[in-house]
Amino acid sequence: MRTSQDQLLRRGNRPGARRRLFGVWMLAVALAVTSSACSDGDGGKSSSWRGPSGAPSLGGGETPPPKAAATISEPRAGAKDVPASTRIAWTTKEATETTVELKDSAGKAVKGKLATDGKSWLPSGALEYGETYTVSVTATGDDGRPALATSTFTVMARPSKQVRVSSFLGDGQVVGVGMPLIVKFSRAVPKDYRDDVQRRMTVTAKPAQEGIWHWVSPTEIRYRPKQFWKANSKVSYRVQTGGLPMGDGWYGRADLTVDVTIGPSLVMTVDNRTKRMTVTRNGSVIRTIAVSLGKKSTPSSSGTMIVIEKLRKTVFDTFAELGPDEGYRTKIDYAQRLTWGGEFIHSAPWSEGQQGRVNVSHGCVNVSMANGAWLFANTRIGDPITVRGTERKLQNGNGWTDWNMSWQEYVKGSALPYEPPA
């Protein structure tokens, strides 16, 4: 039997029925609002509320982008034939913190170090030839929200023309306080590339000491501190030239790292007026030695020199240099080379009667056999000797004459501007 409309209305007027009808009405309204919000005019495909500009919104407002931004300038995305020595360079905007991550094609992270200017990053070693890498630079602003920039690049194939880099000193060597750090290249480095090479050369001394690199020639560069090395210092130097462009299609063959120790401060000073050598160790006089320097026709050089090599026994043969009338061939004990021109400290038993009184040598610093043995036992390669008051000045380049130049002169040999430590 069908229920009439009047009966339904009467049922609806009952208290319980009114409550049920009201609940049904509220559910219908809620469904209608939900449907409208989800569709937002796009056929129901969107799942979040969008503000006036179409951007996702929290609480009805737009989400602002991060304050910081980063752009990688080197190597650029997609770059090919990138040198294996490449650095990572970037610019940032409103960044309070920047991090760098470099990974190879297998996802393995590459170690490296942030430059002091905070604008570049250098891998700890040359990258693999032919490998593809991805660098990520993340800049974070004071809002704590990171901004990411990435660049994927491929390193060049191994070059056929490579420059070998070598060090005069070897790992673990103990040297004197005047010892310059000497690095040589198997091929001349053009002037336009020397600053790039020098940027990849770092020296770390403990305790810290001020110093600079100086180009002696296109194939040789040296480093010395402003003052003599501090006694017993630990010095490490690194030449990161593996894969570095060095002009005319040539590239550095490999990186080089050397760790040395500076010995006690042993300094020799010779005064031509008194014909005496004064030897100090760590600032205290430990010996005074009578000497005979070069006679007037073959004077010794005045200036600061360094012990270049030590020869317990050798033979001086000067016939080719001085001719048959002045030349001689003599066995020598306890010889320590000071110049390329042939000036040595050495024992000379034949002149012991003149030592301390008259100059009779051919330019060398003559000492007695006993003093020659003592000096030989106490000196090291790199110990300095300064000769004063002779008729001839030491010419720069005639030996390791790095200390014969003033600091201002030495700085001029750098391919980079000198920056005093803060």
Question: For the chain, what is the mean pLDDT?
Answer: 87
Residues 255, 187, single domain; the answer is yes
Domain that holds residue 145: 69-154
Express each pLDDT in 78-116 by its tens digit.
999 999 999 999 999 999 999 999 999 999 999 999 887
Select from 136, 154, 172 the last residue of a domain. 154
Residues 84, 174, single domain; the answer is no
Q: What is the pLDDT of residue 182?
A: 98
Task: Indicate the number of domains in the chain.
Answer: 3
Residues 323, 387, single domain; the answer is yes
Q: What is the pLDDT of residue 118?
A: 77
Residues taking part in catalysis:
346, 364
Residue 122 lies in a domain: yes
Q: What is the pLDDT of residue 135?
A: 98
Give buried/exposed letters for 310-320 (b at 16+ CB in 10 A, else e): beeebebeeee
* Secondary structure (3-state) at 111: coil
Residues 287, 390, single domain; the answer is yes
Express each pLDDT in 258-303 by its tens digit.
999 999 999 999 999 999 999 999 999 999 999 999 999 999 999 9
Catalogue the long-range contacts made by 159-162 (C-beta closer than 8 Å, 24 or more residues apart). Answer: 159/243, 159/249, 159/250, 159/251, 161/248, 161/249, 161/250, 161/251, 162/250, 162/251, 162/252, 162/253
Percent of the chain with pLDDT over 90: 79
Select from 231, 263, 295 the last residue of a domain. 263
pTM for the structure as a whole: 0.81
**345 vs 38, residue with greater confidence:** 345
pLDDT-wise least confident of 53-62, 84-93, 275-284, 373-382: 53-62
Q: What is the pLDDT of residue 61?
A: 59
Q: What is the pLDDT of residue 318?
A: 74
Residues 171, 124, single domain; the answer is no
